[in-house]
Amino acid sequence: MTEFATLQEMLLIAHARMEPAVWDFVNGGTESEVTLRRNRHGLDRLAFRSRVLNDVARIDTSTTFLGHKLALPVMMAPVGSLALIDPAAAVSVAAACKACGSLLIYSTFADPPLEIVRSKVDHPLILGLYVRGDQAWLDAAIDAAVAAGCLAIAVVTEAPYYSRRERDLINRFRSRGSKSTTYAATQKVLREGASAEAVAAAEARMVTARLTWKTIERIRRRSSLPIILKGISTAADARLAVEHGASAIYISNHGGRQLDCAPGSIEVVPEIVDAVSGRTAVIMDGGIYRGTDVLKAIALGARAVCIGRLQCWALAAGGEAGLVRMMEILEEEIIIAMGLLGVTKLADLSRHHVVATDALDPPHIFNPFPVVKERLAALASRAGAERD
């Protein structure tokens, strides 16, 4: 199952192997899923402008991030529920990153624990920090990142609340980050009071919502590791991030899984790149499924991209080997696209290489995969006919 020749085959294999509720969990967004679709639509609306008669016989796809060389401008986004696909998922992803010259941003929700991943795979990683405990918990998490030799700490800022992911609610599916008590009930306790025990429990449930710029300052005081701020989506916050010493800004709307009705990630890249004016690196995620998607982000000023769903699909299709194969295909797609664009290195790409245009299809997560759309539609039609 790791001998797929295209990303479309990989996705079809992943669909066949994943439980339906897990498939929905990975591919769904929050509420109306507008942000999810905008992530893809923003990329679909960008067309390339190629230059010709350039010598493109030798192509360099590499870049650097925080001083670490990447073979491709592609890293693995923090995915806390990878263990739903593979109990040893984080080890598999870290090993694939080592083989491919990439980096894993390891989620504090992930399994196995950080120290086990580092003991099994001798390759640096970045801690994707979800602040979900008190100051003692935070200090311990920072110290663990230092002890594990992490390159940096990526603080997840876009998830102070766990959103209403309605596919999961309909499926009665619970992930590790989901809450058993509604926020409305929690806010009522905080607003009206109750027993001391109930108030304490409500306060504990809201610890993630207390993340502020002072938290970032505490992290900086505790460790000299570079800090990446994940979840930045406005120029105003980008400028504040620079002021607070962020070594990188990570544009992300959590794959359309947090705030509904937000803009697509690619749409805010130019605004944020302009706001930081080269003072810090900018990376992004959100709807990146193809080599051409990667190059669109680079052309708009991102240093690199991160992949979440693509990571999950590859893991489901073939574990560590599936992830390596996915990166090999991305590399091939990137090399070909760079050659056809008339550039030999990523630094040659600029906004002159992209232009806004009309998308050909309505927004859909599988727009980059026409064969997948056709076959999944056929499967759904056949299943419906059998039910009838």
E strand map for 4-136? 46-48, 63-65, 68-70, 74-76, 105-107, 126-129
Q: Clarify whether 123 is annotated catalytic.
A: no
DSSP 133: S
3-class secondary structure, 267? helix
How many whole angstroms separate alpha carbon 142 and alpha carbon 223? 7
DSSP 164: -
Q: Residue 160: which residues within 8 A CB-CB, separation 6 or more?
A: 208, 209, 211
Q: Residue 211: which residues within 8 A CB-CB, separation 6 or more?
A: 131, 155, 157, 160
Identify the burial level of 245 via C-beta atoms within 10 angstroms of its C-beta, where 0-12 means exposed, 13-18 middle and 19 or more buried: middle
How many angstroms separate the Cα of 383 from the Cα of each of 284, 298, 380? 37, 41, 5
Instruction: Indicate which residue of 15, 41, 123, 254 is catalytic.
Output: 254
Q: Which residues are catalytic?
A: 254
